[in-house]
């Protein structure tokens, strides 16, 4: 389990680095820094670093190569553990599927002129894969069949709504970033989904507080969703700030969606040791 945890941590850091560079790559318009060549960069293994776009795109590709190596080791360990943890097996397949889709879209975007609505899928897919990976290495998930179902719980229903709104918010925001100028209707959907997302999070936090199940502090950053469009972007610092915010929110939403114990208020921390019972006198 220690080796599995280390491989998972390295893999998680790798996918965070790859997604962050992809975010910067897109916002700085450096996607064609290596030309229409893949996996080579401008026809060479080590290109001439003549401008910023070449450096950003080349670093993005190098990080992807390193990440794939760590990912293979982690997935091998995950498959070995699947007999003990049924949920881990299912999440592994979901993670592989998301990463394959992301890879295909990224490669097609380099070789061909892919429509903006398809390229916009990269942001939600990449962040979802990153969030699922974080849940896999951080949370001691068990088979859902062994847990009490929380579908009828109003907290769970609100959480499902938050998940849908998060997906709409991510996708429309990413689509908007590929269009200049952005279509007014797309901007409206983005802003409305952000406002509804913030309101749903506030309602969910309030309902949990009233029932004594905690205040869901991890979701508080989502309240800022309506204001993210005014953040400073097109700079490395601004893009990283937005990316970290999106990563945090996506990972926490996936965490709350996947583990019904969180919704029921019965989650226990992994490192909490049981208190030994005293023998009767």
DSSP state of 273: P
Task: Read off the pTM.
Answer: 0.79
Question: Who wins on pLDDT, 264 or 11?
Answer: 11
Contact status, residue 53 vs residue 32, Cβ threshold 8 Å = yes
State what percent of residues in the chain have pLDDT above 90: 25
- Segment 116-169, tens digit of pLDDT: 999 999 999 999 999 998 888 776 544 444 344 434 466 778 888 999 999 999
In contact, 54 and 42? CB cutoff 8 Å: yes
Say whether pLDDT at 270 is over 60: no
Q: Give the model confidence (pLDDT) of 191-234 as tens digits.
A: 999 999 999 999 988 887 877 776 677 889 999 999 887 665 66
3-state secondary structure of 279: coil
Per-residue pLDDT, 167:
95
Domain boundaries, the chain: 1-145, 147-267
The length of the chain in residues reads: 281
Q: What confidence score (pLDDT) does residue 277 get?
A: 45
pLDDT at 176 over 60: yes
């Amino acid at each position: 389990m220690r080796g599995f945890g280390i491989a998972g941590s390295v893999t998680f850091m790798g996918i965070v680095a790859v997604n962050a560079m992809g975010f910067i790559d897109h916002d700085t318009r450096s996607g064609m820094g290596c030309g229409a060549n893949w996996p080579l960069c401008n026809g060479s293994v080590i290109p001439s670093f003549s401008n910023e776009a070449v450096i950003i795109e080349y670093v993005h590709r190098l990080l992807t190569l390193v990440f794939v190596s760590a990912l293979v080791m982690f997935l091998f360990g995950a498959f070995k553990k699947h007999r003990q943890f049924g949920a881990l097996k299912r999440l592994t397949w979901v993670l592989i599927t998301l990463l394959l889709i992301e890879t295909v879209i990224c490669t097609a975007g380099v070789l061909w002129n892919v429509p903006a609505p398809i390229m916009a899928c990269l942001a939600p897919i990449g962040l979802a894969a990153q969030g699922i990976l974080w849940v896999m290495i951080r949370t001691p998930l068990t088979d859902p069949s062994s847990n009490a179902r929380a579908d009828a719980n109003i907290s769970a229903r609100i959480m499902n709504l938050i998940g849908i709104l998060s997906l709409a918010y991510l996708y429309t925001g990413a689509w908007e970033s590929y269009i200049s100028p952005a279509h007014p209707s797309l901007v409206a959907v983005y802003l409305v989904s952000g406002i509804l997302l913030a309101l749903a999070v506030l309602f969910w936090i309030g309902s949990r507080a009233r029932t004594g199940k905690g205040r869901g502090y991890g979701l508080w950053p989502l309240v800022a969703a309506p204001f993210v469009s005014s953040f400073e972007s097109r700079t490395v610092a601004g893009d990283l700030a937005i990316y970290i915010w999106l990563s945090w929110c996506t990972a926490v939403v996936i965490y709350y969606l996947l583990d019904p114990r969180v919704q029921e208020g019965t989650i226990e921390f992994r490192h909490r040791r049981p208190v030994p019972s005293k023998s009767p006198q």
